[in-house]
Amino acid sequence: MKIAFIGDIVGRPGRKIIKHRLQNLRDKYNIDFVIANGENASHGFGLTVKNADELFKSGIDLITGGNHSWDKKKDMLTLLETNEVLRPDNYPKGVAGSGIKIKEIGNNKEKLAVINLMGIVTMPQVLNPFTHILEILENVKKDDIKHIFIDFHAETTAEKRVMMQLLKGKVSAICGTHTHIGTDDLEITNGTFYVTDVGLTGCRDNVIGMDDKIPIQKSLTGIGGHFDVPNSCKSIMQTIIMDLDENGKCVDAFKIKMYDNKEDVVLKSLV
């Protein structure tokens, strides 16, 4: 099974480069299933039904979320009911939607569990992601599901690293999101792929995908404002491609950084 994961999509520039590049990427690497974090896909804050439909038509199969999942609440409630969209599973009980999806992949109908979690540092109120994931895995393992992918949307590198140490050998992959800054610490340990943060898909010449005027103003004066996604910028699409064997172990993985105006860069994982 070959799956791909795209880091935080930020606004129209992120959606645009996915529309132009994803299908060729799927064909070139024979990707079976594409997951993407889309909590910033609609002008940097939340996800609308219209933009979700655009991403699905561009070749994304499942969209995960994070702390901005509820910024377009009305749209999100609709998406959680009718589309392949997740929100972090460790929101308190009673919150609409789910952070777990079981999919059958390929002609062999191999089951893939996609799990969306959120950290606790500087984030909205959620349940402990570490105890929560152990409970989830107990149920997933009972169903003999071996292919398990986790999008861990967290602020701190330490949270993400602890998750890797807790789950190595128990899941297929853990990909960090949220900071929008890609890291180069790709590794495969005991059959588990890990990267601290995939990095954003969108504008790469501003501040985490947003126009730099307000971030600079806030840094100089302490007075903030509304962050906007530029209409014109240099863009990047950051994707992890993972090859999982029949036992759910990751046997190969690499990251592709695709640019709008320069050659692609490929980073291999450390085995």
Q: What is the pLDDT along the chain (271 residues), one digit of tens a residue?
A: 999 999 999 999 999 999 999 999 999 999 999 999 999 999 999 999 999 999 999 999 999 999 999 999 999 999 999 889 999 999 999 999 999 999 999 888 999 999 999 999 999 999 999 999 999 999 998 888 999 999 999 999 999 999 999 999 999 999 999 999 999 999 999 999 999 999 999 999 999 999 999 999 999 999 999 899 998 899 999 999 999 999 999 999 999 999 998 889 999 988 7
Sheet of 110-118, strand order: 100-105, 110-118, 147-153, 173-177, 192-195, 187-189
CATH of the domain at 6: 3.60.21.10
CA neighbours closer than 13 Å in the CB half-sphere of residue 243: 8
SS3 80: helix
pLDDT at residue 270, as a whole number:
80
Residue 225's domain comprises 2-268
Active-site residue (options: 20, 43, 68, 132): 68
On whether the CB atoms of residues 123 and 155 are closer than 8 A, the answer is: yes
pLDDT at residue 32, as a whole number:
97
pTM: 0.96
Q: Quick check: is 20 catalytic?
A: no
pLDDT at residue 142, as a whole number:
87
Nearest to 163 by CA among 193, 183, 207: 193
Please count the structural domains in the chain.
Answer: 1
